[in-house]
Amino acid sequence: MEFCCTNCFFDEWLIGHIKIYGKRVNKCDFCGDKNNFAININEFEGLISPIVGLYTAITNFYPMELLKEGDHSNDMIWDKLTNDWGIFNTPDIAENILSAIYQDDPREGTFYDFMNDAVAIEEEWSIEHYTIGNLWNEFCVEIKHQNRFNPKSFNKEMINLIISANIETILTGNKFYRARIQRDKKPYKLNEMGAPAKDLAIYGRINPQGIPYLYLSENEETSISEIRPNILDKVNLAIFELEKDIKVIDLRNLNIGSPFRWGDNLKEIYLNQAFLNDFSATVSKPINFKTSYLEYLPTQFVSEYIKNRGFDGIIYPSSVCTGYNIALFNEEKCKCISVKKVDISTINYKFSTS
Ligand SMILES: [Zn+2]
């Protein structure tokens, strides 16, 4: 029986697991390290197989022209597990361990084609190139045209697991910014810079009509960019200070941590992480009131779900500036401490030709 040791790996969860459940061996069969904790490769197979199972040989699903072009020599399973997931210390060690597990399988007729060809995650490929298998698209269609209040394509269990790994606490005293274009001669007062009144709250990407949230930004530049002012517009810029700690879900770089944490749920977690990344990208887009309100239902639904899990808001990237935005479901945890007038002097336009 061959043993692989903690020094073969980079993944912290796995290293911890081997230290607890492994045993000391004189010499690792793969990296040669001496007197280290190790587990036998049969046991390791049980841990790694849900991750390996995400991948399929690209010969099984890539169109022929794509197989011919492009260099796939660094897309072998050992490259993916080392470079994309940070499981092994080097692709060479990964190749040796995976070969020991899968290459010489005694079960007759078993052919592990992922060991001989470049690999990819088929669902990821589908999501990029078609709409099949894209959870976010399926959910959007369902909530707009089939089930509005209890959509079946929304996987609460998986979403709960992912959001609970991406909670951020922001402490009392932190400051955020909100800009409004000044419509009257007089600048807005402090109490006019908060969320709109309930009967005046029009819908946004995050709030439904009639349910106002407070949209804030990380810095002045982001808050001004978000309202897309024209040149010569007068902008009022308010500073809000947190009066209580808040617990929010950070949608930037959603993290699922070590793939080993999820066991057989990994594939579902992976696909639902893609779902939340699509949610985040959609929330970040500027709103266009010429579009039907139906377009905004999917992001409003997910936002409300997060609110009802007891969180104070969500952090999402700005699509018009480098800073981030924060939508607070309840504005009572912060107060407006100042407003100043800003004149817009220059606007940078970025464009692409089509
Ligand atoms: Zn080793």
Give the Å distance between the CA of 195 and the centre of ligand 1.
57
Cα–Cα distance for residue pair 56/58, rounded to 1 Å = 6
Q: Considering the domain boundaries, does residue 142 fall inside one? A: no
Low-confidence stretches of the chain (pLDDT < 50) are: none
Give the Å distance between the CA of 25 and the centre of ligand 1.
10
Is the domain of 204 the same as that of 74? no
Give the Å distance between the CA of 255 and the centre of ligand 1.
27
| Alpha helix segments (H runs only) across the chain | 12-21, 41-52, 64-68, 77-79, 91-98, 122-129, 135-145, 156-164, 220-226, 266-284, 297-308
Give the Å distance between the CA of 93 and the centre of ligand 1.
8
User: What does the pLDDT read at residue 131?
Assistant: 59
Q: Considering the domain boundaries, does residue 282 fall inside one? A: no
Q: Considering the domain boundaries, does residue 37 fall inside one? A: yes
Give the Å distance between the CA of 311 and the centre of ligand 1.
43
Give the pTM: 0.87
The length of the chain in residues reads 354
Give the Å distance between the CA of 4 and the centre of ligand 1.
5
Cα–Cα distance for residue pair 102/143, rounded to 1 Å = 43
User: What does the pLDDT read at residue 22?
Assistant: 96
Is the domain of 19 the same as that of 105? yes
Domain range spanning residue 195? Answer: 167-255+289-343
Is the domain of 231 the same as that of 317? yes
User: What does the pLDDT read at residue 133?
Assistant: 65
Is the domain of 81 the same as that of 179? no
Cα–Cα distance for residue pair 160/17, rounded to 1 Å = 24
User: What does the pLDDT read at residue 291?
Assistant: 85
User: What does the pLDDT read at residue 329?
Assistant: 97
User: What does the pLDDT read at residue 345?
Assistant: 81
Give the Å distance between the CA of 263 and the centre of ligand 1.
23
Number of domains in the chain: 2
Question: For residue 210, what is the domain's CATH number?
Answer: 3.90.228
Is the domain of 21 the same as that of 110? yes
| 3-class DSSP assignment, residue 252 | coil
Is the domain of 192 the same as that of 98? no
Q: Considering the domain boundaries, does residue 265 fall inside one? A: no
User: What does the pLDDT read at residue 346?
Assistant: 79
User: What does the pLDDT read at residue 338?
Assistant: 96
C-alpha dist (Å) from residue 229 to 3, 119, 183? 63, 47, 12
User: What does the pLDDT read at residue 132?
Assistant: 61
